[in-house]
Amino acid sequence: MAKNEISLDDLLFEKIARALDGLEYGSIHIVVHDSQVVQIERTEKYRLPVEKPEAKISQARTGK
């Protein structure tokens, strides 16, 4: 293989790294068929800050 030729494994690792880049919460699914990676799926979840119930009650009472 020539020096500047990129192998399939290198491309696969690059795609997996790109799927992981910036992922805070979620998952990466790698689908294999006949010993070959055929699909990479990225599921991302966004976590929202949780308000405590007493904060909601006091806001309802004060009208804020």
Per-residue pLDDT of the chain (64 residues; tens, 9 = 90+): 455 667 878 999 999 999 999 999 999 999 999 999 999 999 999 888 888 777 666 666 666 5
- Residue 58 makes CB contacts below 8 A (sequence gap 6+) with none
For position 53, what pLDDT does the model report?
Answer: 77
For position 54, what pLDDT does the model report?
Answer: 73
In contact, 23 and 42? CB cutoff 8 Å: yes
